[in-house]
């Protein structure tokens, strides 16, 4: 009888826990602050937004489907590593909104060309696929992009407003 009660309790607790996770409000990026540097720690699935040396916010992220190691060529599903710039922004992308990362650089292109491959490109910090915003924070449970850095739609909205053009992005293993 105790085992049956325990199973029933767990079955009832799971939906409550998932609902709380989904709806629990997270810290917002401070209003009116400009982000001039973004630091990504792939192994921790975290991205930090800075103004100078001041940490403004830490985000939980998803990465490329094959996240270990530096992006080497188009289609490897890896998120690049190194120092780049936020060089573009698109309010009408296929993934809610996005901020462009200046990958590939000359070194990335030369590396891929030696292997007779394309280095690829179109690496972004983006939200969820259009019409799938309802997934919300659950997207974090799996690395699912083709090499980009994914956040929720609400998070990409605040980053889109706050990240200055040509801000530095450092991406670490």
Q: Which residues contact 75 (CB under 8 A, 6 or more apart)?
A: 120, 146
Residue 111 CA to residue 121 CA, distance in Å, equals 14
Active-site option among 70, 96, 126, 139:
126
Say whether 139 is catalytic: no
Specify which residues 170 forms β-bridges with.
Answer: 39, 83
Answer yes or no: are the C-beta atoms of 150 and 126 closer than 8 Å.
Answer: yes
- Average pLDDT for consecutive 10-residue bins of the chain (173 residues)? 76 81 88 96 98 98 96 95 97 95 96 93 96 94 97 97 98 98
Smallest Cα–Cα separation from 123: which of 142, 137, 105?
Answer: 105
Q: Which domains does the chain have, with CATH numbers?
A: 2-172 (2.40.440.10)
Structure tokens at 143: 């690395």
pLDDT of residue 12: 76
**Strands 149-150, 124-126: parallel, antiparallel or unpaired by DSSP?**
parallel
Contact present, 80 and 101 (Cβ < 8 Å)? yes
Is 70 considered catalytic here? no
* Amino acid 1: pLDDT: 62
- Record the pTM: 0.91
């Amino acid at each position: 009888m105790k085992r049956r009660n325990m199973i029933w309790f767990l079955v009832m607790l799971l939906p409550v826990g998932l609902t709380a996770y989904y709806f629990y409000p997270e810290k917002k990026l401070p209003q009116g602050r400009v982000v001039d540097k973004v630091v990504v720690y792939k192994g921790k699935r975290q991205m930090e937004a800075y103004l100078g040396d001041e940490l403004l916010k830490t985000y939980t992220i998803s990465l490329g489907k094959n996240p270990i190691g530096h992006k080497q060529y188009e289609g490897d599903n890896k998120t690049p590593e190194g120092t780049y710039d936020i060089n573009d922004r698109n309010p009408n992308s296929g993934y809610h909104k996005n901020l462009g990362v200046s990958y590939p650089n000359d070194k990335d292109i030369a590396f891929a060309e030696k292997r007779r491959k394309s280095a690829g490109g179109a690496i972004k910090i983006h939200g969820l696929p259009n019409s799938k915003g309802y997934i919300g924070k659950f997207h974090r449970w799996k690395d699912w992009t083709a090499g980009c850095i994914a956040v929720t739609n609400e998070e990409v909205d605040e980053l889109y407003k706050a990240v200055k053009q040509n801000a530095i992005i450092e991406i670490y293993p």
